[in-house]
Amino acid sequence: MKKFAVVFAVLSMFSTLAQAEGNPEAGKAKAVTCIACHGADGNSPIEMYPKIAGQHTGYLVKQLMEFRQAAKTGGQEGRNDPIMSGMAMALSDEDIADVSAYFASQAISEGPAADAAVQEKGHQLYMGGDASRQITACVACHGVKGEGMGLAGYPALADQHPAYLKAQLEKFRSGARNNDMNGMMAGVAKNLSDEDIAILAQYISAIE
């Protein structure tokens, strides 16, 4: 049964990626309603909203489809968010592909620097995890420089707003967000302390 679940997840991932080919120019025009929260080029000026510039196209497609699914199922399926679910509800598959392609084509702005103490502790957790607390190293999925793995569906994290990273880790830990593949993020985040999350959010944002 476990093997079937893994195969299904992989097939679903490639299905999403196959739908991810969009037109960036068409997406730019369609992204007008996104500007208020995410900025004209995907670099959100508000820390509670994510920067989506330079994010992997397939990951953006997946999130928008799941926001739309939540809107259509009253939050029973997908990724439920009071703002994004409403915004995504009217988008077609083509709209989602185009908007995702546009924001993926933009360059993300630089994140804030982290102090030396955060760098040291964050580096240890990000690169090595903590076996004694069953915390997996972030680098395994998100890369040495926080670049993520587009084909595997793992998002880029570098230069993201620390406040947004912190909020998402807290949501994965509490179960408020549960659209991660095979519950991987929930499994990692459940063993993170508040201090771990604060440090990782600052470290990842500043990672080089």
Residue 85 and residue 68 in contact, taking contact as beta carbons nearer than 8 Å: yes
Residue partners of 103: CB distance under 8 A and separation at least 6: 27, 31, 34, 38, 42, 52, 53, 54, 55, 60
What does pLDDT average to over the chain?
Answer: 91
133 CB neighbour count, 10 Å cutoff? 11
The backbone region for 146, taken as left when phi is positive above 0, alpha when psi lies in -120 to 50, beta otherwise, is left
Task: Read off the pTM.
Answer: 0.89
Dump pLDDT digits (tens) for 6-42: 334 444 444 444 445 899 999 999 999 999 999 999 9
**Separation between Cα atoms, residue 22 and residue 156, nearest integer Å:** 19
119 CB neighbour count, 10 Å cutoff? 16
Q: What is the pLDDT of residue 161?
A: 98
